Structure 1
Protein backbone atom coordinates (compact mmCIF):
# COMPACT_ATOMS: atom_id res chain seq x y z
CA UNK A 1 0.00 0.00 0.00
CA UNK A 2 1.30 3.47 -0.88
CA UNK A 3 2.17 5.68 2.08
CA UNK A 4 -0.16 8.68 1.74
CA UNK A 5 1.46 10.75 4.44
CA UNK A 6 3.38 13.91 3.46
CA UNK A 7 7.03 13.15 2.54
CA UNK A 8 8.35 15.11 5.55
CA UNK A 9 6.18 13.12 7.96
CA UNK A 10 7.11 9.85 6.25
CA UNK A 11 10.84 10.57 6.45
CA UNK A 12 10.75 11.55 10.12
CA UNK A 13 8.50 8.62 10.99
CA UNK A 14 10.91 6.14 9.42
CA UNK A 15 13.77 7.79 11.29
CA UNK A 16 11.93 7.32 14.58
CA UNK A 17 10.65 10.88 14.97
CA UNK A 18 9.83 12.34 18.36
CA UNK A 19 8.59 9.03 19.75
CA UNK A 20 11.79 7.31 18.68
CA UNK A 21 13.79 9.93 20.54
CA UNK A 22 11.67 9.42 23.67
CA UNK A 23 11.90 5.64 23.48
CA UNK A 24 15.68 5.79 23.08
CA UNK A 25 16.18 8.55 25.66
CA UNK A 26 14.20 7.09 28.56
CA UNK A 27 16.37 3.98 29.09
CA UNK A 28 19.51 6.13 29.03
CA UNK A 29 18.02 8.53 31.58
CA UNK A 30 17.01 5.61 33.81
CA UNK A 31 20.48 4.08 33.59
CA UNK A 32 22.14 7.42 34.35
CA UNK A 33 19.91 7.97 37.38
CA UNK A 34 20.39 4.48 38.86
CA UNK A 35 23.92 3.39 37.96
CA UNK A 36 25.55 5.56 40.62
CA UNK A 37 23.07 4.62 43.36
CA UNK A 38 22.05 0.97 42.96
CA UNK A 39 24.97 -0.46 41.00
CA UNK A 40 25.67 -1.63 37.47
CA UNK A 41 23.55 -4.80 37.31
CA UNK A 42 20.29 -3.26 38.63
CA UNK A 43 20.84 -0.17 36.46
CA UNK A 44 21.28 -2.18 33.26
CA UNK A 45 18.25 -4.30 34.18
CA UNK A 46 16.20 -1.14 34.72
CA UNK A 47 17.29 0.36 31.39
CA UNK A 48 16.49 -2.82 29.47
CA UNK A 49 13.18 -3.09 31.34
CA UNK A 50 12.15 0.43 30.34
CA UNK A 51 13.07 -0.31 26.71
CA UNK A 52 11.00 -3.51 26.86
CA UNK A 53 8.04 -1.58 28.30
CA UNK A 54 8.27 0.94 25.45
CA UNK A 55 8.24 -1.89 22.94
CA UNK A 56 5.31 -3.57 24.67
CA UNK A 57 3.37 -0.30 24.76
CA UNK A 58 3.77 0.16 21.02
CA UNK A 59 2.62 -3.41 20.41
CA UNK A 60 -0.49 -2.80 22.51
CA UNK A 61 -1.19 0.46 20.69
CA UNK A 62 -0.69 -1.25 17.31
CA UNK A 63 1.85 1.41 16.38
CA UNK A 64 4.89 0.94 14.20
CA UNK A 65 7.38 -0.93 16.35
CA UNK A 66 10.45 0.01 14.33
CA UNK A 67 11.66 2.83 16.65
CA UNK A 68 11.14 0.78 19.80
CA UNK A 69 12.69 -2.34 18.27
CA UNK A 70 15.82 -0.44 17.33
CA UNK A 71 15.78 1.28 20.71
CA UNK A 72 15.45 -2.01 22.57
CA UNK A 73 18.22 -3.62 20.53
CA UNK A 74 20.46 -0.61 21.15
CA UNK A 75 19.84 -0.58 24.90
CA UNK A 76 20.40 -4.33 25.09
CA UNK A 77 23.71 -3.96 23.25
CA UNK A 78 24.79 -1.10 25.55
CA UNK A 79 23.84 -3.11 28.61
CA UNK A 80 25.74 -6.15 27.35
CA UNK A 81 28.91 -4.12 26.77
CA UNK A 82 28.71 -2.57 30.24
CA UNK A 83 28.12 -5.93 31.91
CA UNK A 84 30.98 -7.59 30.01
CA UNK A 85 33.49 -4.89 30.91
CA UNK A 86 32.08 -4.19 34.36
CA UNK A 87 32.29 -0.42 33.79
CA UNK A 88 29.17 1.75 33.84
CA UNK A 89 30.65 4.24 31.39
CA UNK A 90 30.86 1.54 28.73
CA UNK A 91 27.06 1.59 28.56
CA UNK A 92 27.50 4.70 26.40
CA UNK A 93 30.29 3.30 24.23
CA UNK A 94 28.15 1.76 21.42
CA UNK A 95 26.35 5.07 21.01
CA UNK A 96 29.63 6.96 20.84
CA UNK A 97 30.91 4.73 18.05
CA UNK A 98 27.54 4.99 16.30
CA UNK A 99 27.88 8.78 16.25
CA UNK A 100 31.35 8.41 14.74
CA UNK A 101 30.01 6.09 12.05
CA UNK A 102 27.18 8.50 11.21
CA UNK A 103 29.58 11.45 11.14
CA UNK A 104 31.83 9.66 8.66
CA UNK A 105 28.84 8.56 6.57
CA UNK A 106 27.31 12.04 6.30
CA UNK A 107 30.70 13.64 5.62
CA UNK A 108 31.63 11.10 2.98
CA UNK A 109 28.30 11.57 1.21
CA UNK A 110 29.08 15.29 0.89
CA UNK A 111 32.57 14.61 -0.44
CA UNK A 112 31.25 12.26 -3.14
CA UNK A 113 28.45 14.75 -3.95
CA UNK A 114 25.63 12.46 -2.89
CA UNK A 115 24.19 14.27 0.19
CA UNK A 116 22.76 11.50 2.30
CA UNK A 117 19.63 13.35 3.43
CA UNK A 118 18.66 13.86 -0.21
CA UNK A 119 19.48 10.27 -1.15
CA UNK A 120 17.30 8.91 1.67
CA UNK A 121 14.45 11.31 0.82
CA UNK A 122 14.56 10.31 -2.85
CA UNK A 123 14.57 6.62 -1.93
CA UNK A 124 11.59 6.96 0.42
CA UNK A 125 9.56 9.01 -2.05
CA UNK A 126 10.47 6.85 -5.05
CA UNK A 127 12.27 9.58 -7.00
CA UNK A 128 15.23 9.16 -9.30
CA UNK A 129 18.49 11.10 -9.12
CA UNK A 130 17.42 14.10 -11.18
CA UNK A 131 17.12 16.21 -8.01
CA UNK A 132 20.91 16.37 -7.82
CA UNK A 133 21.04 18.38 -11.06
CA UNK A 134 18.86 21.17 -9.67
CA UNK A 135 21.09 23.65 -7.86
CA UNK A 136 18.58 24.91 -5.29
CA UNK A 137 17.49 21.42 -4.27
CA UNK A 138 21.04 20.13 -4.19
CA UNK A 139 22.12 23.04 -1.99
CA UNK A 140 19.24 22.47 0.42
CA UNK A 141 20.16 18.82 0.87
CA UNK A 142 23.87 19.68 1.09
CA UNK A 143 23.08 22.03 3.97
CA UNK A 144 20.83 19.48 5.70
CA UNK A 145 23.47 16.78 5.36
CA UNK A 146 26.20 19.12 6.59
CA UNK A 147 24.09 19.93 9.66
CA UNK A 148 23.63 16.21 10.31
CA UNK A 149 27.37 15.66 9.93
CA UNK A 150 28.13 18.53 12.33
CA UNK A 151 25.64 17.20 14.87
CA UNK A 152 27.14 13.71 14.67
CA UNK A 153 30.71 14.95 14.98
CA UNK A 154 29.72 17.15 17.95
CA UNK A 155 28.05 14.25 19.74
CA UNK A 156 31.02 11.99 19.12
CA UNK A 157 33.74 14.45 20.11
CA UNK A 158 32.02 15.69 23.28
CA UNK A 159 30.95 12.27 24.51
CA UNK A 160 34.20 10.55 23.61
CA UNK A 161 36.14 13.20 25.52
CA UNK A 162 33.96 12.67 28.59
CA UNK A 163 34.30 8.91 28.21
CA UNK A 164 38.06 9.07 27.77
CA UNK A 165 38.46 11.29 30.84
CA UNK A 166 36.23 9.03 33.00
CA UNK A 167 33.55 11.65 33.56
CA UNK A 168 30.67 9.18 33.60
CA UNK A 169 28.23 11.56 35.28
CA UNK A 170 28.74 14.30 32.72
CA UNK A 171 28.70 11.71 29.96
CA UNK A 172 25.19 10.66 30.99
CA UNK A 173 24.08 14.29 31.10
CA UNK A 174 25.61 14.93 27.68
CA UNK A 175 23.91 11.89 26.15
CA UNK A 176 20.47 13.09 27.28
CA UNK A 177 21.07 16.83 26.82
CA UNK A 178 22.39 16.42 23.27
CA UNK A 179 19.24 14.56 22.27
CA UNK A 180 16.28 16.93 22.14
CA UNK A 181 18.05 20.22 21.27
CA UNK A 182 19.99 18.67 18.40
CA UNK A 183 16.91 16.78 17.20
CA UNK A 184 14.93 20.04 17.03
CA UNK A 185 17.64 21.71 14.96
CA UNK A 186 18.32 18.81 12.60
CA UNK A 187 14.67 17.93 12.01
CA UNK A 188 13.87 21.59 11.29
CA UNK A 189 16.67 21.83 8.73
CA UNK A 190 15.60 18.56 7.10
CA UNK A 191 12.00 19.81 6.98
CA UNK A 192 13.08 23.02 5.22
CA UNK A 193 15.23 21.07 2.75
CA UNK A 194 12.35 18.77 1.85
CA UNK A 195 9.96 21.70 1.47
CA UNK A 196 12.45 23.33 -0.88
CA UNK A 197 12.69 20.16 -2.93
CA UNK A 198 8.92 19.67 -3.13
CA UNK A 199 8.33 23.28 -4.17
CA UNK A 200 11.18 23.41 -6.68
CA UNK A 201 11.10 20.08 -8.48
CA UNK A 202 7.61 20.35 -10.05
CA UNK A 203 8.42 23.80 -11.49
CA UNK A 204 11.75 22.52 -12.78
CA UNK A 205 10.27 19.43 -14.45
Structure 2
Protein backbone atom coordinates (compact mmCIF):
# COMPACT_ATOMS: atom_id res chain seq x y z
CA UNK A 1 0.00 0.00 0.00
CA UNK A 2 2.86 2.36 0.80
CA UNK A 3 4.39 1.69 -2.59
CA UNK A 4 1.10 2.53 -4.30
CA UNK A 5 0.90 5.81 -2.43
CA UNK A 6 4.44 6.68 -3.47
CA UNK A 7 3.47 6.05 -7.11
CA UNK A 8 0.61 8.53 -6.94
CA UNK A 9 1.09 12.22 -7.67
CA UNK A 10 0.82 14.46 -4.63
CA UNK A 11 -0.66 17.31 -6.67
CA UNK A 12 -4.14 18.63 -6.02
CA UNK A 13 -4.57 19.65 -9.67
CA UNK A 14 -6.44 17.76 -12.37
CA UNK A 15 -5.22 14.35 -13.46
CA UNK A 16 -3.89 13.64 -16.95
CA UNK A 17 -7.18 12.08 -17.99
CA UNK A 18 -9.11 15.09 -16.65
CA UNK A 19 -6.86 17.45 -18.61
CA UNK A 20 -7.76 15.53 -21.77
CA UNK A 21 -11.43 16.08 -21.03
CA UNK A 22 -12.05 12.97 -18.96
CA UNK A 23 -13.56 9.73 -20.17
CA UNK A 24 -16.76 11.46 -21.27
CA UNK A 25 -14.75 14.01 -23.24
CA UNK A 26 -12.84 11.33 -25.09
CA UNK A 27 -16.02 9.38 -25.85
CA UNK A 28 -17.83 12.54 -26.99
CA UNK A 29 -15.29 12.99 -29.80
CA UNK A 30 -16.44 9.67 -31.25
CA UNK A 31 -20.20 10.34 -31.25
CA UNK A 32 -20.29 12.95 -34.07
CA UNK A 33 -18.33 10.55 -36.30
CA UNK A 34 -20.74 7.72 -35.48
CA UNK A 35 -23.60 9.98 -36.58
CA UNK A 36 -21.89 11.55 -39.60
CA UNK A 37 -20.98 8.35 -41.48
CA UNK A 38 -24.38 6.58 -41.63
CA UNK A 39 -26.38 9.80 -42.16
CA UNK A 40 -24.07 10.79 -45.02
CA UNK A 41 -24.46 7.36 -46.61
CA UNK A 42 -28.27 7.52 -46.46
CA UNK A 43 -29.19 11.21 -46.85
CA UNK A 44 -26.08 13.00 -48.08
CA UNK A 45 -23.61 15.62 -46.90
CA UNK A 46 -25.92 18.40 -45.70
CA UNK A 47 -28.03 16.30 -43.31
CA UNK A 48 -24.89 14.51 -42.13
CA UNK A 49 -23.15 17.74 -41.13
CA UNK A 50 -26.28 19.10 -39.47
CA UNK A 51 -26.66 15.86 -37.50
CA UNK A 52 -23.00 15.83 -36.44
CA UNK A 53 -23.10 19.45 -35.24
CA UNK A 54 -26.45 18.93 -33.50
CA UNK A 55 -25.13 15.90 -31.62
CA UNK A 56 -21.98 17.82 -30.70
CA UNK A 57 -24.07 20.68 -29.26
CA UNK A 58 -26.16 18.18 -27.29
CA UNK A 59 -23.02 16.59 -25.87
CA UNK A 60 -21.65 20.05 -25.00
CA UNK A 61 -24.81 20.95 -23.09
CA UNK A 62 -24.79 17.58 -21.35
CA UNK A 63 -21.20 18.11 -20.20
CA UNK A 64 -22.06 21.60 -18.96
CA UNK A 65 -24.98 20.18 -16.99
CA UNK A 66 -22.57 17.73 -15.38
CA UNK A 67 -20.28 20.66 -14.43
CA UNK A 68 -17.33 19.16 -16.28
CA UNK A 69 -14.19 21.13 -17.11
CA UNK A 70 -15.26 23.87 -19.51
CA UNK A 71 -12.25 24.17 -21.82
CA UNK A 72 -12.25 20.58 -23.21
CA UNK A 73 -16.01 20.82 -23.81
CA UNK A 74 -15.66 24.12 -25.70
CA UNK A 75 -12.68 22.92 -27.75
CA UNK A 76 -14.57 19.74 -28.65
CA UNK A 77 -17.55 21.72 -29.92
CA UNK A 78 -15.33 24.12 -31.87
CA UNK A 79 -13.44 21.19 -33.37
CA UNK A 80 -16.61 19.59 -34.71
CA UNK A 81 -17.77 22.94 -36.06
CA UNK A 82 -14.46 23.50 -37.87
CA UNK A 83 -14.52 19.99 -39.35
CA UNK A 84 -18.09 20.54 -40.54
CA UNK A 85 -17.15 23.84 -42.21
CA UNK A 86 -14.23 22.22 -44.05
CA UNK A 87 -16.46 19.37 -45.25
CA UNK A 88 -19.08 21.87 -46.45
CA UNK A 89 -16.48 23.94 -48.33
CA UNK A 90 -14.94 20.89 -49.99
CA UNK A 91 -18.36 19.45 -50.79
CA UNK A 92 -17.30 16.02 -49.57
CA UNK A 93 -17.84 14.27 -46.24
CA UNK A 94 -14.18 13.27 -46.35
CA UNK A 95 -13.39 16.90 -45.65
CA UNK A 96 -14.71 16.39 -42.13
CA UNK A 97 -11.57 14.36 -41.40
CA UNK A 98 -9.07 16.70 -43.10
CA UNK A 99 -8.43 18.92 -40.07
CA UNK A 100 -7.69 15.96 -37.79
CA UNK A 101 -5.38 14.40 -40.35
CA UNK A 102 -3.21 17.48 -40.83
CA UNK A 103 -3.36 18.36 -37.15
CA UNK A 104 -1.80 14.95 -36.47
CA UNK A 105 1.08 15.69 -38.84
CA UNK A 106 1.80 19.11 -37.32
CA UNK A 107 1.52 17.78 -33.77
CA UNK A 108 3.84 14.87 -34.56
CA UNK A 109 6.48 17.25 -35.92
CA UNK A 110 6.19 19.67 -33.00
CA UNK A 111 6.38 16.89 -30.40
CA UNK A 112 9.44 15.39 -32.10
CA UNK A 113 11.26 18.72 -32.41
CA UNK A 114 10.59 19.46 -28.73
CA UNK A 115 12.59 16.35 -27.76
CA UNK A 116 15.49 17.37 -30.02
CA UNK A 117 15.80 20.73 -28.27
CA UNK A 118 15.45 19.02 -24.86
CA UNK A 119 12.10 20.65 -24.07
CA UNK A 120 9.85 17.55 -24.32
CA UNK A 121 6.30 18.83 -24.59
CA UNK A 122 4.75 16.34 -22.19
CA UNK A 123 6.82 17.76 -19.34
CA UNK A 124 6.35 21.34 -20.47
CA UNK A 125 2.57 20.98 -20.75
CA UNK A 126 2.14 18.96 -17.55
CA UNK A 127 4.05 21.40 -15.36
CA UNK A 128 2.59 24.42 -17.13
CA UNK A 129 -1.01 23.30 -16.63
CA UNK A 130 -0.32 22.62 -12.96
CA UNK A 131 1.23 26.07 -12.51
CA UNK A 132 4.66 24.72 -11.65
CA UNK A 133 8.13 25.83 -12.67
CA UNK A 134 10.12 24.02 -15.35
CA UNK A 135 12.85 23.04 -12.86
CA UNK A 136 12.44 19.40 -13.97
CA UNK A 137 14.68 20.19 -16.96
CA UNK A 138 17.71 20.12 -14.66
CA UNK A 139 16.95 16.50 -13.72
CA UNK A 140 18.22 14.01 -16.31
CA UNK A 141 15.85 11.23 -15.26
CA UNK A 142 12.85 13.54 -15.55
CA UNK A 143 13.96 14.78 -18.97
CA UNK A 144 14.43 11.19 -20.21
CA UNK A 145 11.02 10.12 -18.91
CA UNK A 146 9.22 13.05 -20.49
CA UNK A 147 11.16 12.49 -23.73
CA UNK A 148 9.90 8.90 -23.93
CA UNK A 149 6.31 10.02 -23.35
CA UNK A 150 6.60 12.85 -25.88
CA UNK A 151 7.99 10.52 -28.55
CA UNK A 152 5.17 8.05 -27.82
CA UNK A 153 2.64 10.80 -28.58
CA UNK A 154 4.60 11.74 -31.72
CA UNK A 155 4.49 8.15 -32.99
CA UNK A 156 0.72 8.02 -32.50
CA UNK A 157 0.27 11.34 -34.32
CA UNK A 158 2.40 10.22 -37.27
CA UNK A 159 0.61 6.86 -37.45
CA UNK A 160 -2.76 8.60 -37.56
CA UNK A 161 -1.59 10.92 -40.32
CA UNK A 162 -0.07 8.21 -42.51
CA UNK A 163 -3.02 5.81 -42.32
CA UNK A 164 -5.80 8.37 -42.54
CA UNK A 165 -4.16 10.44 -45.27
CA UNK A 166 -3.80 7.30 -47.37
CA UNK A 167 -7.50 6.55 -46.87
CA UNK A 168 -8.41 10.17 -47.61
CA UNK A 169 -6.87 9.81 -51.05
CA UNK A 170 -9.06 6.81 -51.84
CA UNK A 171 -12.51 7.03 -53.41
CA UNK A 172 -15.61 6.51 -51.26
CA UNK A 173 -13.55 6.23 -48.07
CA UNK A 174 -15.84 8.09 -45.68
CA UNK A 175 -16.85 4.92 -43.85
CA UNK A 176 -13.28 3.67 -43.66
CA UNK A 177 -12.11 7.05 -42.36
CA UNK A 178 -14.77 7.00 -39.68
CA UNK A 179 -13.82 3.52 -38.50
CA UNK A 180 -10.12 4.35 -38.59
CA UNK A 181 -10.65 7.60 -36.69
CA UNK A 182 -12.35 5.65 -33.89
CA UNK A 183 -9.87 2.74 -33.84
CA UNK A 184 -6.86 5.06 -33.86
CA UNK A 185 -8.49 7.43 -31.40
CA UNK A 186 -9.49 6.03 -28.02
CA UNK A 187 -7.33 2.86 -27.99
CA UNK A 188 -4.09 4.60 -28.99
CA UNK A 189 -4.84 7.54 -26.70
CA UNK A 190 -5.29 5.12 -23.80
CA UNK A 191 -1.86 3.62 -24.48
CA UNK A 192 -0.02 6.94 -24.63
CA UNK A 193 -1.86 8.17 -21.54
CA UNK A 194 -0.45 5.17 -19.67
CA UNK A 195 3.03 6.06 -20.96
CA UNK A 196 2.45 9.66 -19.86
CA UNK A 197 1.36 8.55 -16.38
CA UNK A 198 4.55 6.49 -16.11
CA UNK A 199 6.63 9.51 -17.19
CA UNK A 200 4.97 11.88 -14.71
CA UNK A 201 5.44 9.42 -11.84
CA UNK A 202 9.06 8.65 -12.79
CA UNK A 203 9.91 12.34 -13.11
CA UNK A 204 8.14 13.12 -9.84
CA UNK A 205 10.10 10.48 -7.93
CA UNK A 206 13.35 11.71 -9.47
CA UNK A 207 12.62 15.30 -8.51
CA UNK A 208 11.60 14.35 -4.97
CA UNK A 209 14.77 12.26 -4.63
CA UNK A 210 16.84 15.21 -5.80
CA UNK A 211 15.15 17.49 -3.25
CA UNK A 212 15.74 14.96 -0.47
CA UNK A 213 19.43 14.73 -1.38
CA UNK A 214 19.76 18.51 -1.40
CA UNK A 215 18.15 18.80 2.04
CA UNK A 216 20.32 16.02 3.43
CA UNK A 217 23.48 17.67 2.08
CA UNK A 218 22.45 20.99 3.58
CA UNK A 219 21.98 19.41 7.00
CA UNK A 220 25.48 17.96 6.94
CA UNK A 221 27.04 21.21 5.81
CA UNK A 222 26.22 23.15 9.00
CA UNK A 223 28.22 21.03 11.51
CA UNK A 224 31.29 21.17 9.25
CA UNK A 225 31.05 24.95 9.16
CA UNK A 226 30.72 25.11 12.98
CA UNK A 227 33.74 22.89 13.53
CA UNK A 228 35.81 25.04 11.20
CA UNK A 229 34.84 28.16 13.12
CA UNK A 230 35.81 26.53 16.42
CA UNK A 231 39.24 25.55 15.09
CA UNK A 232 39.85 29.06 13.85
CA UNK A 233 39.08 30.40 17.32
TM-score with structure 2 setting the length: 0.81
Q: Which runs of 5+ in 1 are unaligned?
A: none
Alpha-carbon distance in 2 for matches of 1:126, 1:133: 18
Confirm or deny that 1:201 pairs with 2:204.
no
Q: Match for residue 177 of structure 1?
A: 183
| 1:32-181 superposed matches below 5 A | 32-166=37-171, 167-181=173-187
Task: After superposing the two structures, state which structure 1 stretch, 182-191 or 8-17, moved more.
Answer: 8-17
Alpha-carbon distance in 2 for matches of 1:28, 1:67: 18
Alpha-carbon distance in 2 for matches of 1:55, 1:129: 33
Q: Match for residue 226 of structure 2?
A: none
Question: Any idea what the Cα deviations from partners look like across 1:65-113, whole Å, max 9, x if unmatched?
Answer: 2222111111111111111221111111111111112111101101111
Q: Match for residue 20 of structure 1?
A: 25
Alpha-carbon distance in 1 for matches of 2:166, 2:12: 37
Q: 1:107 to 1:190 in 2, by over 3 A?
A: same
| Alpha-carbon RMSD | 1.8
Alpha-carbon distance in 1 for matches of 2:101, 2:67: 32
Question: Any idea what the Cα deviations from partners look like across 1:119-170, whole Å, max 9, x if unmatched?
Answer: 1112123332321222211111010000000000000111011001232221
- What is the deviation of 1:200? 1.7
Larger radius of gyration: 2
Q: Which runs of 5+ in 2 are unaligned?
A: 1-8, 212-233
Alpha-carbon distance in 2 for matches of 1:147, 1:15: 16
Relative contact order, CA 8 A, sep 6+: which one is greater? 1
Q: Is the 8 A contact 1:78 1:92 kept in 2?
A: yes
- What is the deviation of 1:15? 2.4
Residues matched between the structures, number: 202
Alpha-carbon distance in 2 for matches of 1:201, 1:7: 17
